[in-house]
Chains A and B, each alone.
Chain A
Amino acid sequence: MTRGMYIRRRLLLMLPTAFGVTLVTFFMIHLIPGDPAVTMLGIRATPKAVAALHREWGLNKPLYEQYWRFLSRIVRGNFGTSLFYGASATGLILRASLVTLELIVYAVILSVVIALPLAVLAATHRNRLADQAVRAIPLVGMGMPSAWIAIMLILLLGLKSHLFPVAGLQAGFIGHLDSMFLPSLTLSLGIAPLLIRSLRSSLIDAFDADFVTTARSKGIRESRVLVRHAIRNSLASSLNILGLQIAFLISGTLVVESVFALPGVGALMVNSIFRRDFPVVQGITFLLALAVILTNLGTDVVHSIVDPRVRFE
């Protein structure tokens, strides 16, 4: 199979998956008991007022008809109008995505900053004490609940030492950098262990690889070999692995945004589930699932281009 055929096949396989995603998305939220009209109007709403809202939102129509409307809308990239805010669901989701994207990018940068020196240390001192210590980090990191990391960081860096703001989003670039620090750190402490693991092993592989040996034999200084060749290659492949973690990253933002009161997709999602804001929940779950599918496809394709050993099955 050629690469072109492979990509085409993967894209075709995406269609049934995407269809399944719309089915799950739609019926999941409609199966949850609870009525958005009651949530909106309050528990004192008269049945008449509730029925009027149902008519306005089209919730009085049979489910398959609503599903069809949902399906025909997404094809045009339209998720409808938020029941709660009365604004375009797509707009709300896009605005929140920016915050989440910022959070993820910030967290990835932080986790690289944390993981890289440790991985280099471990790889250059293979099987010695430093290496053993670094290899223990993922063991600890993997089992930390992110809600708990958040509380501990708030306690230590926010409340005890007043180093960083503990919630909300401040204006301006510096404000963002400052107020997003603790949430990003929380998220990055979840990612860093995985990154340390994969960076360490790919660095070790790189050291053994031919081109590094060649570079060394050419008399290039050790530190330069490390930076120019080994690190760059290992980082690229490790970040690729991180790409595969996208579903995990997004799950992490859900908790982090709730604890730190950030107006991102995770918080919007949780709040919208609570409010039974169907269009927003459907929009977010669909987009998240799509992001996961596309990222997985993207990483596979990139991987196949970078690594010629990959065969297409």
Chain B
Amino acid sequence: MNVKDTAEHTRILSPVSRRDFLKTVAVGGAALGGVSAFGTLLGDVPFAGAATPRRGGNLTFARVADPQTIDPSAAIDTESIWTVLCLYDCLYDVTASGHSEVPWLATGYELSSDQLTWTFHLRPGVKFSDGRPLDSTDVRFTLERALKGPNAYILSAVNAIDTPNASTVVIHTSHPWGPLAGDMSMYSNAILPNKLRGMTNTEFFNHPIGTGPFVMESWTKGQQMVLKRNPHYWKQGKPYVDSVTFLTIPDDNTRLIQLKGGNVDIMEAPPYSSVSTLKSTPGVVVDLFKSTAVSSFGMSQKKPQFKDLHVRRAISYAVDRESIIKDVLFGHGTPAASFFSPSWAYYNPDTPKLWYDVKTAKKEIALSAYPNGFKTTYAVAAGDTLNGTIAQIIQANLKVIGIDVAIQSYDPSTLASLVSAGHYDMSPAIGTLDISDPDENVPAAVGEAYGGIFDAYTFYHNPELLKLVHQSENTIAPAQRAKIYNEIQVMTAEACPFVMLYYSPFPYAEQSTVNGFDIPPTGAYHLEEVWLS
């Protein structure tokens, strides 16, 4: 049976949970590329292309939060990022596996022999939603604009951008830069028209112009956003639906009711506790798409206890990940060892597992400078029930090795300020990847950027690790990068600057009339492929 790479997620129509399924894969010794074989078990699942797509209709999509912005260079939250990618396109796009990129607005590139000059060729015939053709000046404008935004670090190696002709863009880097093609799939580099067609930022983003499948029709902040079909979209015959309505419904139960009542076609993030009931609801399909999300908690190196390697390792050994996955995720997750998820390129399945083992944990704490334990805190955001519950499990786990944890809940903004200054003991963090190259996160996790670890600053400093991170960026050949990244994962796991918890999926629930909804691990929706039967 021919199952495309796009089928690389579990469609829950059978009682096989994602967790069992990942076990199956692991037992089979298959690497992640083998996951698609699972699709054969599912029989009549209507993958895109299996039936003739129908044109027309409005797709109602209920989301947890409103996007903060639709300016690609300013977006930081997932709702903004995924909305941006409905309106604009990047030069490259992430493959369904999340492990590499496919040509999108570009058709390909050449790399010079000194590895410093990248020549990208633009796809002919692409038009913006106002009907004007895409050319190289648009790309140059976009990248230069992105260099001033919060994600400028992605382009830190870029020296100069040339436009020898309308369909060619040449990017010069100051040193060899492996992640560049992947970086071109970053949402903050999504292509805007040159000089925003002479408009100011505010004017332009009230009526944005892009090459994406949809155009923004209206946006009532905090409530809903309506997108309609881009008549000039470069993919023939797409999108299938006439319009998309994004509803902002923060409350989980409400989104569920709206879905069950038929008011909503797709709902984001059904709570894990509801997944098993939803699966047995007729007319509703639950998807647990593979995601790049990696959950952990960081330990600030500004606190003396956490400078002690044995303390950090003891904590990792003391945490019962299976219990967290069972009680909080209701089984919908897998324990994590590497800070790369299996959905990241270069994931190393042989990363050492410092998992639940009370005996080893006690041995490690005995070796530390704090054999009798100590008092510390775990800071979570107020109202974050998921992390609040996890915190209580960790609290109980650490008590066993004599570490007395007090849970503190701060409002999210205060927590962010405390964490970014390193003024915390332990705090949860989640890392997701928006491109196919791990370099978006690695420097932040164990390199110099931002004090280390995704979103929880540990300020962990290891010169050896740092050297490897630089090497991974300055190397082009994938085989060599794989070796470096393997070593980074092993070294990080052994040093344990943060405790890896679990990998979790992107849960979605849809009406069974929704076809072709299939998102890559980075989470972009690709609604141009969706049709309603």
| Residues of chain A at the chain B interface (Cβ within 8 Å) | 32-36, 38-46, 49, 84-87, 92, 154, 158-159, 162, 165-169, 259-261, 263, 267-268, 271, 273-276
Contact = CB atoms under 8 A, between A and B. Distances in A.
10 contacts: A34-B411, A34-B413, A34-B414, A38-B413, A43-B416, A44-B150, A44-B444, A85-B221, A158-B257, A167-B253
Interface of B: 68, 76-77, 150, 152-153, 202, 221-223, 247, 249-251, 253-254, 257-258, 261, 411-414, 416-420, 444, 449-450, 455, 457
Contacts of A166: 253-254, 257
Contact of B416 (A38, A162, A167, A273): A38
B254 A168 contact: yes
Contacts of A271: 222
Given A34-B411, A273-B411, A44 B450 contact: yes
A274 B250 contact: no
Nearest to B205: A86
Contacts of B419: 43
A165 B261 CA distance: 9
Contacts, number: 88
B413 A261 contact: no
B254 A33 contact: no
A200 B6 CA distance: 69
A259 B68 contact: no
Nearest to B420: A43
Contacts of B412: 39, 274
Contacts of B444: 44
A87 B68 CA distance: 12
A82 B444 CA distance: 30
Contacts of A38: 413, 416-417, 420
Given A167-B249, A261-B250, A261-B254, 14 more contacts: A34-B417, A36-B413, A39-B412, A41-B76, A44-B76, A45-B150, A49-B150, A84-B68, A159-B257, A165-B257, A263-B223, A268-B222, A274-B412, A275-B413
A271 to B, nearest CB: 8
Contacts of A274: 411-413
Contacts of B450: 43-44
A167 B247 CA distance: 12
Nearest to B429: A43
A46 B148 CA distance: 11
A165 B264 CA distance: 13
A4 to B, nearest CB: 45
Contacts of B202: 86
Nearest to A86: B202
B413 A276 contact: yes
